[in-house]
């Protein structure tokens, strides 16, 4: 299976040359062309950067999986989920059509649900998968709303074409609503506070999933969305300030939590949230320097985070634990793994000569060059990086340092497919630090220009001389080391932090979900309780309220008497019989008598149709009423003839609802007389019924030809109803019921 992502990685490498020359490559395949929704794909600097990350790290994850999950009985299913996930991510980052992007966006949520809940026999895994799907699915709903508004305003669904309409979007009155919807989508996917809580729970997934999810795919989707729409919606104060504040708070909040966690994967989960906050923070700063720092940091984070997760998986696989206070001395039995952890930690900490050092310097440089709040924002970045350095030491060095406990003396170096991928990633982080020119022109610069087309030419280098940025890097490293030697891992820290769980966003979300469930239960018991009479009452009451509102706001309550024809003696007799039958129907205690009265009402309506020259309707009504009376008699034959199922208050309520509804229908029927009549439809059917459908009876032609499908569905419904009645007639009660 490794050949699939590896082949795709090699394929995307072939695009580096044209993309480095600022070429944009388009690929289009028809899907729903009538709606402007097609599989339109764009390969530019930004999409190529993410595509290379997804396939490159994907190849290593697939190789790692072949050993890590060897012997798993559902391994083929796991690979299927993983391939679906990779394909969805590639489709998302390459899509130029916003609705195609949305489809792939949702596919990432669905496929990650299967991956996170892969161990479906575990209640914790199932719960984590549901939480992640709920949060990211909520974001998808808002993303669709944002895309619908953007497409309506710009008149195009192409992201590349929207750049030309950026000024129109930013000046539009719905701009604020659009970016709020977009932010909710991006923050839910990329785990920004307060929508971050689903990500630590996703650690219940197997380590290959956690690695892929945290380094190159799922959580980077929100970052990609913000980066892609930066030239379309960015550059406005509310855009920049929101991203800066949310990203800055998230990176410090999550980094602070990471230092108190004692599970290796939990430490990495919170450090991932912090790193994502750092990226949102940089996108919020919005300058060319900040966007360059974000581009470099995307690569840096993918390399070291994948490496640390793979190392954590090896430790868990070989020792059976991820508790940091139980691990030490593993370098003596797994030296290549220890080296891989060390290299990943160096890149995470931003220690020269790693690529992470270049990325950290760019972060500090971009913060220092701001005209306002430069000191505060730089201090926030230094604090977050210091805490992250401590967390990286806990994961990358702590399990391998110190003496080896007797418990782990039997531990041995695992299969090469497990330790080669993290070692390779760690080596790449060092190589790119020493030779940043490898990615500068072909990957970093084109990605930067995709977000900031007027960005000045860049040149990445490891050494910038002795300056303030270097001093801040030194402060970060010294602060992280000092924190490591002074703050020893202890279970007491987690216990102390647990005191504040009641105020955590996760607990608040769970509380709200329970209240929502309680409300849903109440709503179901009241309105969707399985009683048809309640359903009919609710529907009629709603229609009555709606018609009453329309009537009292728009109806003039005036009818020209000249438009009302006088009643004939025959019509008056029929109406008298009709009213008498209705009164008898309401007050009779016998069901069979009520059914007979309903039949009389139906036949009176048939006569009215005859009086007004509609014999076909009269015949139809006559047949339906006759059949209805027969069916009711058969159904009610075995039921008690005289019994009351409701008290007088319920009957009064039903009577008032029916009376009010009938009154409104009467008013609207009279109001129709004030509306001008149009004969276009009548003329069309009269002129074309015989020539097109070869029928002289216009009504029959309409029923059979022009609306034949509708008539067929009506016949089907009647057939199903007849079968249901027949089944009721043939129903044989069991012996116990008969005895009762």
Encode pLDDT of 117-175 as tens digits: 888 888 888 888 888 898 999 999 999 999 999 999 998 899 988 888 888 999 899 99
For residue 328, the 8-state DSSP code is: -
Answer yes or no: is pLDDT of 387 > 50: yes
Is pTM beyond 0.75 here? yes
Q: Tokens 């008290």: give the residue.
A: 647
CATH 2.40.50 assigned to 530-675? no
pLDDT digits (tens, 9 = 90+) for 51-72: 999 999 999 999 999 988 888 8
- Helix, strand, coil percentages (3-state) for the chain, rounded to 5, are 75, 5, 20
- Grouping H, G, I as helix, E, B as strand and the rest as coil, residue 41 is strand
Ordered by start, the domain boundaries in the chain are 1-234, 257-498, 530-675
698 has a pLDDT exceeding 70: yes
Beta bridge partners of 590: 642
What are 453-462's pLDDT values in tens digits?
888 888 888 8
Question: What are the tens digits of pLDDT across the range 599-650?
Answer: 899 899 899 888 888 887 788 888 888 888 887 887 776 666 656 666 778 8
Looking at residue 735, its pLDDT comes to 45
Partnered with residue 40 across adjacent β-strands are 28
- What's residue 195's pLDDT? 87
Alpha helices in 320-373 (DSSP H): 335-349, 355-368
**pLDDT class for 679, splitting at 50, 70, 90?**
confident
Please report the DSSP string for 621-666 in residue order. HHHHHHHHHHHHHHHHTTS-SB---S-HHHHHHHHHHHHHHHHHHH
* CB atoms closer than 10 angstroms to residue 142: 18
3-state secondary structure of 488: coil
Three-state secondary-structure class, residue 569: helix
Under 8 Å CB-to-CB from 109, ≥6 apart: which residues?
A: 132, 133, 136, 137, 140, 189
């Amino acid at each position: 299976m490794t050949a699939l992502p590896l082949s795709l990685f090699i394929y995307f490498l072939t695009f580096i040359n044209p993309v480095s020359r600022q070429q944009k490559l388009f690929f289009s395949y028809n899907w729903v062309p009538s709606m402007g929704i097609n599989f339109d794909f764009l390969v530019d600097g930004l999409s190529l950067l993410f595509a290379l990350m997804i396939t490159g790290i994907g190849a290593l994850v697939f190789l790692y999986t072949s050993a890590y999950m060897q012997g798993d009985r559902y391994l083929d299913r796991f690979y299927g989920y993983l391939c679906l996930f990779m394909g969805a991510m590639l489709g998302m980052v390459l899509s130029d059509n916003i609705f195609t992007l949305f489809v792939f966006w949702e596919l990432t949520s669905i496929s990650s649900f299967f991956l996170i809940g892969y161990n479906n026999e575990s209640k914790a895994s199932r719960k984590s998968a549901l939480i992640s799907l709920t949060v990211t699915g909520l974001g998808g709903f808002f993303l669709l709303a944002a895309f619908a508004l953007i497409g309506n305003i710009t008149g195009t669904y192409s992201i590349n074409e929207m750049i030309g309409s950026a000024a129109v979007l930013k000046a539009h009155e719905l701009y604020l609503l659009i970016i709020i919807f977009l932010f909710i989508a991006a923050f839910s996917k990329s785990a920004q506070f307060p929508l971050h809580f689903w990500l630590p729970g996703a650690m219940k997934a197997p380590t290959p999933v956690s690695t892929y999810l945290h380094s190159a795919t799922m959580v980077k989707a929100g970052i990609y969305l913000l980066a892609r729409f930066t030239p379309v919606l960015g550059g406005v104060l509310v855009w920049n300030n929101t991203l800066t504040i949310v990203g800055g708070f998230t990176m410090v909040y999550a980094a602070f939590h990471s230092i108190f966690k004692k599970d290796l994967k939990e430490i990495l989960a919170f450090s991932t949230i912090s790193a994502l906050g750092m990226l949102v923070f940089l996108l919020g700063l919005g300058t060319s320097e900040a966007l360059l720092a974000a581009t470099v940091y995307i690569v840096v984070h993918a390399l070291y985070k994948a490496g640390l997760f793979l190392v954590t998986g090896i430790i868990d696989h070989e020792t059976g634990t991820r508790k940091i206070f139980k691990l030490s001395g593993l370098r003596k039995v797994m030296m290549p793994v220890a080296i891989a952890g060390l290299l990943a930690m160096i890149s995470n900490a931003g220690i020269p000569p790693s690529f992470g050092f270049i990325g950290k310097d760019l972060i500090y440089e971009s913060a220092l060059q701001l005209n306002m709040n430069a000191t505060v924002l730089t201090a926030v970045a230094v604090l977050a990086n210091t805490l992250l350095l401590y967390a990286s030491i806990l994961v990358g060095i702590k399990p391998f340092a110190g003496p080896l406990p007797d418990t782990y003396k039997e531990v041995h170096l695992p299969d090469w497919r497990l330790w080669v991928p993290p070692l390779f990633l760690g080596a790449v982080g060092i190589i790119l630090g020493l030779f940043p020119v490898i990615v500068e022109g072909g990957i970093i610069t084109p990605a930067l220009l995709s977000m900031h087309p007027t960005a000045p030419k860049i040149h990445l280098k490891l050494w910038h001389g002795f300056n303030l940025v270097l001093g801040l890097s030194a402060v970060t490293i010294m602060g992280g080391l000092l924190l490591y030697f002074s703050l020893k891992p202890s279970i007491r820290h987690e216990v102390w932090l647990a005191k504040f769980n009641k105020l955590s966003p996760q607990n608040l979300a769970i509380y709200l979900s329970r209240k929502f469930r309680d409300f849903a239960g109440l709503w179901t018991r009241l309105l969707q309780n399985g009683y048809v009479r309640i359903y009919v009452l609710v529907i009629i009451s709603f229609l009555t309220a709606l018609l009453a509102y329309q009537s009292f706001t728009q109806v003039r309550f005036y009818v020209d008497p000249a438009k009302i024809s006088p009643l004939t003696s025959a019509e008056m007799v029929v109406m008298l019989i009709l009213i008498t039958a209705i009164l008898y129907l309401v007050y009779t205690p016998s069901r069979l008598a009520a059914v007979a009265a309903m039949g009389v009402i139906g036949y009176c309506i048939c006569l009215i149709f005859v009086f007004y020259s509609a014999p076909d309707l009269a015949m139809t009504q006559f047949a339906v009423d006759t059949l209805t009376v027969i069916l009711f008699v058969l159904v009610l034959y075995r039921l008690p003839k005289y019994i009351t199922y409701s008290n007088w208050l319920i009957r009064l309520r039903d009577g008032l609802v029916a009376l009010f509804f009938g009154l409104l229908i009467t008013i609207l029927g009279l109001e129709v007389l004030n509306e001008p009549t149009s004969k276009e439809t009548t003329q069309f059917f009269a002129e074309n019924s015989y020539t097109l459908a070869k029928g002289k009876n216009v009504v029959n032609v309409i029923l059979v030809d022009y609306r034949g499908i509708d008539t067929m569905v009506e016949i089907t419904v009647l057939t199903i109803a007849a079968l249901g009645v027949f089944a009721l007639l043939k129903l044989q009660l069991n012996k116990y019921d008969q005895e009762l």
